[in-house]
Structure 1
Amino acid sequence: MFSAIRSAAASRVSTRAFSTTPSRASDLAKLVLVGRLGRDPEVRRTRTDKEYVSYVVATTNYPPPPPNADGTRAEAKTSWHTILSFTPSSNNYLQTLKKGSLVYVEANYELREPEPNADPDSPQGQRQIFLRHENLRVLNRPREREPENSHE
Structure 2
Amino acid sequence: MFSAARLAFSNGQRRTFSTSPSRSYDVAKLILVGRLGKDPEVRTTKSDREYVAYTVATTNYPPPPPNPDGIRQEAGTSWHHVISFNPAQNNYLKSLSKGAQVYVEANFELREPDQNSDPSTPAGQRQIFLRHETIRMLRNPHTQNTSE
Q: Structures share a fold, TM > 0.5?
A: yes
Give secondary structure in 2 for the equivalent of 1:34.
strand
Identity %: 61
| 1:1-150 equivalence runs, <5 A | 6-9=9-12, 25-143=24-142
Give secondary structure in 2 for the equivalent of 1:58.
strand
- Give unmatched runs, 5+ long, in structure 2: 18-22
Inter-CA distance 118–6: structure 2 relative to 1 (3 Å threshold): same
Give the Cα separation in 1 of the matches to 2:120 and 2:110: 18
| TM-score, normalised by the number of residues in structure 1 | 0.79
Residue 119 of structure 1, CA deviation: 2.2
Residue 125 of structure 1, CA deviation: 1.2
Give the Cα separation in 1 of the matches to 2:67 and 2:85: 44
Which residue of structure 2 lines up, in the alignment, with residue 21 of structure 1? none
Residue 30 of structure 1, CA deviation: 0.4
Give secondary structure in 2 for the equivalent of 1:138.
strand
| TM-score, normalised by the number of residues in structure 2 | 0.81
One-letter identity of the residue aligned with 1:73: R
Residue 31 of structure 1, CA deviation: 0.4
Inter-CA distance 107–9: structure 2 relative to 1 (3 Å threshold): farther
Give the Cα separation in 2 of the matches to 1:112 and 1:9: 45
One-letter identity of the residue aligned with 1:111: L
Residue 7 of structure 1, CA deviation: 2.3
Alignment root-mean-square deviation, CA? 2.3
One-letter identity of the residue aligned with 2:112: E
Give secondary structure in 1 for the equivalent of 2:123.
helix
Inter-CA distance 81–61: structure 2 relative to 1 (3 Å threshold): same
Hey, which bits of structure 1, 4+ residues long, moved more than 4 A? 2-5
- Give unmatched runs, 5+ long, in structure 1: 18-23, 146-152
